[in-house]
Structure 1
Amino acid sequence: MVTSGRSHGREQRRVVDYLVDAVAALGVRNIFGVDGANIEDLYDAVFDADVDVTGVVAKHEFSAATMADGYARSSSGLGVVAATSGGGAMNLVAGLAESYTSRVPVLALVGQPPTTLEGGGAFQDSSGRAGSIDAARLFFEISRYCARVERPEDIAEHLERAVSAALCGGPAVLLLPKDVQQATVTGPRFTPPTRRVVRDHIGLARVAEMIAAARRTGKIVLIVGDQVARNDARAQVRALAVALDAAVGVAPDAKDCYAADEHGFCGVAGIMGHAELVDAVQQAALCLLVGTRMPMTARAGLDGALAGVPVASIGAEPPYAPTVHAVSMDLGSTLDELTALFDVDGVPEPAGPQALTTLEVPDSSGPGLRYREAVEAITAMLPAGADVFADAGNTGASVVHHLSVPRGGRFVVALGMGGMGYSFGAGIGSAFARNRRTFVIAGDGAFFMHGLEMHTAIEHDLPVTFIVFNNNAHAMCVTREQLFYRDRYSFNRFRPALLGEGIAAMFPTLPAFAARSVGELTDALARSAHTEGPSFVAVDCDPDEIPPFLPFLTSPR
């Protein structure tokens, strides 16, 4: 178990002390990572620090990176991850790639061998010298800023640049040789950079003109994306929806940005979405995209509807499809400005939410629970304000389509890279950030990759309920084998594993359950609710059930 909050045991301030103080100044309370010879000085500084920063040791650097990602997503701030050199640094890549693609602010502090050994056969050398891997070139491709800190006096400048870049959306990486970490540094303490807000006067005026024209001729539909969560602009979205009397849909990774029981809600967009949103867009005078680039996961099934109506967008980056776009790095202020333009007395409260039509899936007669009944049972047991992290695959598709997010709760599904096992670390990071009941919902394939990260939740007694849909398969790949490769073989089925019983034996203090019926699932969740720390529930499912995933439901069988 890691401790923090100790008084300084040193008179001189090292580079690592400067970094820990900077993390605290940024309002970040946790540094996630895996210890090692070339990052251990950072953990030493955490121990000595007189600031509120705790070092958290994960089981794998991928999960440490996703912890930082989940922390950032839930706090609408910055996440921090630390890793040692060599394999530790390489293990960060998949996690940082998710943060890069999804524009999540993460600062990665990556240890390196001492500068005096670079290019001389140092263990885990990635200086790029003498034929070694060049970590700077590697991380440059998956970061908004990457620098090797060669001298201790350069740390302040590089850290300011790194933080500024990360807060614009994405990871920043500092490569820290061990001797530089240990070196003393003088000068003032770190001051968080001021975020520079750039107003797109021309783009916003064009979007406002389109809104004004559409209000005269018909209905406006908003499709809300995950930048709304990054900017914590949920209240501003609702205010704009009320002012415009708009119908509202959400991208799959933005289910927590507009509640399903809010006025005007008409469903999820894309490959796990609802027909009501497609109908609303087809009948609209304008579709306004807010904080989403509309990748294929959000756009599939909507291309035809979007092609037939005017489309405007507001966000950090323009959507993939053509729109009239206004750049906004701060959606809260931009949406406030638009609401002020169109919020007039006498505007009626938008219509209530529609009853949504679920995607029809073929009947399944295999073992265990059906996806829909399992997700609906979980929904019924979610406490107010609970956070939900869903993993990739059939499980994720079912959760996106069927789950209702509690008011005040967060919902995250990683669709940037879609890496399996993301939810375990990310849910833990979120629990550190928000200290409220968090539900991680993943399949057994994701569990076998990174599920034992639950050990970190146990060590820190975090309020995380891990729910694993166990169908003894990589079930989405099984479905693809059946639909696209004539069901001639399967590489993706496993021998049965009793996950609930196994986890109970492995962690005797952890409440762990196996659910093979709706009643058993409900009972397990009710019993888990009485514990303040983590719990585990394995839910038996059918590997042959087809999830509510549009590409599978429109393919010839």
Structure 2
Amino acid sequence: MIKKEKNMGVLGMSNKPKQQLQMDREFGDLLITYLEQLGVEYVFGVPGGAIEPFYSALARSERRGGPRAVIARHESGAAFMADGYARNTGKLGVCCATTGPGATNLITGVASAYENNIPMLVITAQTALSTFGRGAFQESSCTGTNTVGLFEYCTRYNTLISHAGQFEAKLVSAIMTALQSPGGPVHLSVPLDIMRDKVSHTAPTYNLLNLLNKPSLVDDVAVKHLYEELLNARNPVFLVGDDASEAIGTILSLAVDLGARILVTPHGKGLVSPYHPLFRGVIGFAGHQSARDVLSDPSVDLLVAIGATLGEWASDGWDTQSLLTTKMIHVESVEENFIRTPMAKLHVRGRLSTIFEHLVEKLAKNQRHKIYAIGESSAPAESFHREPELHFIMDDPESYCSDATPIKPQRLMRELPKIFPPNTRYLADSGGAFTWATHYLHPYDRRIAGKRNGRGGLFRASLEFASMGWAIGSSVGTALAEKGCPVVCITGDGSMLMSGQEITVAIQENLPVIFVILNDSCYGMVRHGQRLTGAEPIGYELPVIDFSAFARSMGVASHIIHSPDDLLALDIAAICNRNGPTLLDIRIDADEAPPMGMRTKALKSSQYDK
């Protein structure tokens, strides 16, 4: 005879009334209900004792088809995954960790998101409230290793939930802060006993979609002034940053109508087709001389910077001769970015999509001023009979075309867009990988203007905080967000040794991520930076690692690439259609110096600025 527990049916199915089941919900279940309002599909993290009630709620959610857990190998990887998911969906990224070292391990990934305004909800656990101050295992309260204090400087909202009655209001306040302008990570520290406490009501108190539905506010006077400046400009230039992503279609349409040459910051690379007839390259770190030449052209009478943070890497080391000048108009939705352009002749505030829709409409009524016209093309890469024409100049065209062995990193960047499909997403890690990709990687996006996906382009990097290993974790979040699109993670051997364990998440999730390892047995940026700045050569060596064998040990398909012929011999269709990751161990020419002149110049000058 089978003994049944009270109120339990066959196979453990509950016989309780539906209302009773709702009343048994814990605060973790309530949190997930709010994530469902926002369409969030994944929570990235690593389980642990104090965060277990939240994972129990995630298990219940997954069984009914709601948001589910994706388990990282290190908490910083979880934050990077949430970052990649948020960038590519426009939704809230969510990551979580247990108390103590779980929470502190998150900090690097959260700080990276903070510097790049990535909307992220960070949930960390605390030991039970009754244990505060008593030396509990991994205690992280104000009387232990104060994790709330640690997160203060890398979040836009940061609080401990000390009473169950605070939970819902603080959660909603945090989410609204994360998704406002400027966005960024927010942190809730939740004690174990509060997370598992029962919710006293059956439905969420707040409707997040209503609360987040804000009108598009525009400064009409400033937009009118901007329009007049555009009409009167003889030789305008547009500088596009990553915050311009939601309006990039109308921005490009306006540039085409005006014949304005287009530059991008390193952050904005990927928003504009490299083959656009008006595109003249990347300005700033690892950028192109042709872009600098445009800015120093004396005939340029107007520079419109759009959604550009204009920190060191985006402003060519704070160039006050040709970039940060009185010829600039700065158009922004994030007002704090105006702090970096006090010299601008005009600051235009508002939602960028609304601003540029107004400008395009105004210009369409003024047909006599439409001086430039280009037909839009969206031809896939396979249809090209010859390599499409670039309208900017790269530093080393010989290496870009070189057949040498070991393969030149310049040639590698040339070939990647040729062999992978046009919808491939590329992520470049901090270090040499970013510099090579920024200067030499040009995905085959042939669109000239018109409507675009407002969540960014085919290329992404994480600058400012520039965490090594960001691309490894973020590529997992990107692949979950962009199902059906190959994702290429370009990273270095140093980053792979630091965070390569996250490749196993791509295995578990059956994600077609291609990890391209630039293997030169050194920290390349350190080695070449020391040489270029005259510093002592120290600390840059890495052991010779067979990353292909490392991949195979985990069941990951892998290939060693010595030459361009090895690369071109790959079965790319099989790689892109694989239910799991692939690792390419690229043995690059270690003597090739990355295009990092702007960075070395800044390091040299800082020696004498004291």
Fold conserved between structures, TM > 0.5: yes
Partner of 1:3: none
Does structure 2 conserve the Cα–Cα contact (< 8 Å) formed by 1:244 and 1:342? Answer: no
What is the number of equivalent residue pairs in this alignment? 541
Partner of 1:318: 337
How do residues 479-494 of structure 1 correspond to structure 2 at under 5 angstroms? 479-485=528-534, 488-494=536-542
Partner of 1:306: 323
CA–CA separation in structure 1 for the residues paired with 2:327 and 2:222: 12
1:95 pairs, out of 109, 120, 123, with 109
1:145 pairs, out of 144, 153, 157, with 157
How do residues 99-248 of structure 1 correspond to structure 2 at under 5 angstroms? 99-129=113-143, 132-168=144-180, 169-187=183-201, 188-189=203-204, 190-192=206-208, 193-197=211-215, 199-201=217-219, 205-206=221-222, 208-229=224-245, 232-248=246-262
Which residue type is aligned with residue 519 of structure 1?
A: D
SS in 2 for 1:91: helix
Partner of 1:399: 437
SS in 2 for 1:539: strand
Q: Deviations over 1:269-312 (max 9, x none)?
A: 11211222223333322111111121111111754212555111
Give the fraction of aligned pairs with identical amino acids, expressed as a percent.
Answer: 26
Which residue type is aligned with residue 597 of structure 2?
A: L
Q: How big is the alpha-carbon RMSD for the aligned residues of Structure 1 and Structure 2? A: 2.6
1:41 pairs, out of 28, 43, 53, with 53
Cα offset for 1:550?
2.4
Q: Are residue 59 (structure 1) and residue 73 (structure 2) matched? A: yes
CA–CA separation in structure 1 for the residues paired with 2:234 and 2:261: 11
Cα offset for 1:358?
0.5
Cα offset for 1:485?
3.3
Does structure 2 conserve the Cα–Cα contact (< 8 Å) formed by 1:21 and 1:51? Answer: no
How do residues 250-265 of structure 1 correspond to structure 2 at under 5 angstroms? 250-265=264-279
Q: Are residue 355 (structure 1) and residue 391 (structure 2) matched? A: yes
Cα offset for 1:217?
3.8
Q: Are residue 546 (structure 1) and residue 593 (structure 2) matched? A: yes
CA–CA separation in structure 2 for the residues paired with 1:185 and 1:177: 15
Q: Are residue 470 (structure 1) and residue 519 (structure 2) matched? A: yes
Q: Are residue 410 (structure 1) and residue 458 (structure 2) matched? A: yes
CA–CA separation in structure 2 for the residues paired with 1:88 and 1:293: 31
CA–CA separation in structure 2 for the residues paired with 1:491 and 1:310: 44
1:333 pairs, out of 354, 374, 378, with 354
Cα offset for 1:200?
4.8
CA–CA separation in structure 2 for the residues paired with 1:14 and 1:307: 53
Partner of 1:529: 576
Q: For residues 470 and 497 of structure 1, do their structure 2 counterparts lie closer, same or farther at Cα, with a shift above 3 Å needed?
A: same
Does structure 1 conserve the Cα–Cα contact (< 8 Å) formed by 2:279 and 2:392? Answer: no
SS in 2 for 1:227: helix
Deviates more, 1:392-401 or 1:309-318: 309-318
Does structure 1 conserve the Cα–Cα contact (< 8 Å) formed by 2:313 and 2:464? Answer: no
Deviates more, 1:175-184 or 1:132-141: 132-141
2:499 pairs, out of 447, 450, 453, with 450
Cα offset for 1:490?
2.9
CA–CA separation in structure 2 for the residues paired with 1:544 and 1:349: 44
Does structure 2 conserve the Cα–Cα contact (< 8 Å) formed by 1:362 and 1:546? Answer: no
CA–CA separation in structure 1 for the residues paired with 2:175 and 2:505: 27
Does structure 2 conserve the Cα–Cα contact (< 8 Å) formed by 1:271 and 1:297? Answer: yes
Which residue type is aligned with residue 287 of structure 1?
A: L
Cα offset for 1:95?
0.6
Partner of 2:477: 429
SS in 1 for 2:490: strand
Deviates more, 1:255-264 or 1:27-36: 255-264
Cα offset for 1:51?
4.5
2:566 pairs, out of 514, 520, 534, with 520
SS in 2 for 1:123: coil
Which residue type is aligned with residue 255 of structure 1?
A: K
CA–CA separation in structure 1 for the residues paired with 2:275 and 2:397: 24
Larger radius of gyration: 2
TM-score normalized with structure 1 length: 0.91
CA–CA separation in structure 1 for the residues paired with 2:78 and 2:444: 27
SS in 2 for 1:287: strand
Q: Deviations over 1:90-144 (max 9, x none)?
A: 0111111111111010011111111111111111112112xx2222222121111
CA–CA separation in structure 1 for the residues paired with 2:529 and 2:148: 38
SS in 1 for 2:262: strand
Q: Are residue 279 (structure 1) and residue 296 (structure 2) matched? A: no
CA–CA separation in structure 2 for the residues paired with 1:292 and 1:551: 18
CA–CA separation in structure 1 for the residues paired with 2:89 and 2:329: 28
CA–CA separation in structure 2 for the residues paired with 1:434 and 1:309: 41
Cα offset for 1:198?
6.2
How do residues 380-395 of structure 1 correspond to structure 2 at under 5 angstroms? 380-395=418-433
Cα offset for 1:349?
3.7
Q: For residues 529 and 257 of structure 1, do their structure 2 counterparts lie closer, same or farther at Cα, with a shift above 3 Å needed?
A: same
Which residue type is aligned with residue 238 of structure 2?
A: L
Q: For residues 525 and 288 of structure 1, do their structure 2 counterparts lie closer, same or farther at Cα, with a shift above 3 Å needed?
A: farther
Which residue type is aligned with residue 463 of structure 1?
A: P
Partner of 2:608: none
How do residues 283-302 of structure 1 correspond to structure 2 at under 5 angstroms? 283-300=299-316, 302=319
CA–CA separation in structure 2 for the residues paired with 1:441 and 1:258: 20
CA–CA separation in structure 2 for the residues paired with 1:161 and 1:489: 50
Q: Deviations over 1:404-448 (max 9, x none)?
A: 134375321000300100001101001111112111000100100
Q: For residues 365 and 474 of structure 1, do their structure 2 counterparts lie closer, same or farther at Cα, with a shift above 3 Å needed?
A: farther
CA–CA separation in structure 2 for the residues paired with 1:382 and 1:405: 9
Unmatched runs of 5 consecutive residues or more in structure 2: 1-12, 376-388, 446-452, 605-610
Which residue type is aligned with residue 374 of structure 1?
A: L
TM-score normalized with structure 2 length: 0.83
Does structure 1 conserve the Cα–Cα contact (< 8 Å) formed by 2:218 and 2:355? Answer: no
Cα offset for 1:211?
4.2
Unmatched runs of 5 consecutive residues or more in structure 1: 1-5
Q: Deviations over 1:348-382 (max 9, x none)?
A: 44569862110249989997211110111112112
Which residue type is aligned with residue 280 of structure 1?
A: V
Cα offset for 1:335?
2.0
Cα offset for 1:15?
0.3
Deviates more, 1:161-170 or 1:45-54: 45-54
